[in-house]
Amino acid sequence: MAGLDDVFGDIFASVDAVVLFSPSGSYYERFSAVDDLDVVVVGTENAVGAETFVELPLEFENITDRIRFGLEGALEQGVIDDGDDLACATSVFGDGIDTVSRVRADAETQTGIYDLFVKSRADPEVVKSVLELAIELGKKGQKGKPVGALFVVGDAGKVMNKSRPLSYNPFEKSHVHVGDPIVNVMLKEFSRLDGAFIISDAGKIVSAYRYLEPSAEGVDIPKGLGARHMAGGAITRDTNAISIVLSESDGLVRAFKAGELILEVDPEAY
């Protein structure tokens, strides 16, 4: 008679490594004691002292995002290889690990999201809120019509010095932060107008309607992208900010850092 190992054994058979997401110390020890088994720990901190560790800047409640982000980081750090079959163990319903998925690492599907979060100056929660806002705008548009938008996140003082106002700043002397549902409605409404949103490292909305004035010399953006993307890329070369750009023409969300395009996401597929 077949047992559970026979039914579920394919999940674990011939995997190249086991990836544990935020395991307890005792859970990690059980795996690290298995001979000839590569174990990778992914979490916000290396609480178990794992030899191979990939940092998560956020817990990511969505399990798909959590695993996708962790594997992108593991590929970038070289602790797993393209094409590796992995048993990913994480928690879904409780505090302990209760779910295992078999996933194949695929370098071709790397989005650049790990680089955007981990190596950026701004708070990861702020980056996540702005990215999700841009993706939502890309899906729904403004009143059913496609819109473009440019968000510059972090190093706000220097960004303000390299830009000028196009109109009255509705956020002047305010203390509102991105991520607040009411504030996000305001940002969506203002996205219809020209100019960039400037957001601090901590998520404070410093300004709207800013015309960015960095030099575009030496900034390489894909052909077909216009002034909004050029400005977004150039400002990240001259400051420690990142920029997240929603294209009105093709509907894609792109992120720039250090003058380079590091992320391209189709909102409809996210």
**CA-wise closest residue to 244 among 199, 209, 211:** 199
Q: Are 85 and 104 in contact (CB under 8 A)?
A: yes
Question: What's residue 107's pLDDT?
Answer: 87
% of the chain at pLDDT higher than 70: 96
Which CATH architecture is the domain 114-269 placed in? 3-Layer(aba) Sandwich (3.40)
Give exposure, 256-265, as e/b (b: 16+ Cβ within 10 Å): bbebebbbeb
**pLDDT tens digits for range 217-233:** 777 787 878 889 999 99
**CA-wise closest residue to 235 among 159, 165, 164:** 159
Question: What's residue 267's pLDDT?
Answer: 85
**pLDDT tens digits for range 41-72:** 999 899 999 999 999 887 788 888 889 889 99
Here the tokens at position 87 are 């048993």
Domain range annotation of the chain = 4-110, 114-269
Question: What's residue 143's pLDDT?
Answer: 62
**CA-wise closest residue to 115 among 262, 270, 266:** 262
- Is the confidence at residue 178, as pLDDT, over 80? yes
Domain 4-110 in CATH 3.30.565.10: no
Q: Name residue 243's beta-bridge partners.
A: 152, 256
Domain 114-269 in the same topology as domain 4-110:
no
- Is the confidence at residue 141, as pLDDT, over 70? no
Q: Are 160 and 198 in contact (CB under 8 A)?
A: yes
- Is the confidence at residue 140, as pLDDT, over 80? no
What is the rounded CA–CA span in Å between residue 194 and residue 235?
A: 17
- Is the confidence at residue 2, as pLDDT, over 70? no
Residue with tokens 């174990």: 39
Q: Are 20 and 91 in contact (CB under 8 A)?
A: no
Q: For the ranges 26-30, 123-127, 163-167, 222-226, which has the lowest average pLDDT?
A: 222-226
Q: Are 195 and 211 in contact (CB under 8 A)?
A: yes
Q: Which residues touch 238 (CB under 8 Å, ≥6 apart)? A: 158, 162, 214, 215
- Is the confidence at residue 92, as pLDDT, over 60? yes
Write the DSSP assignment of 216-227 as a string of letters.
-TT----TT--H
CA atoms 93, 99, 101, 105: torsion sign: positive
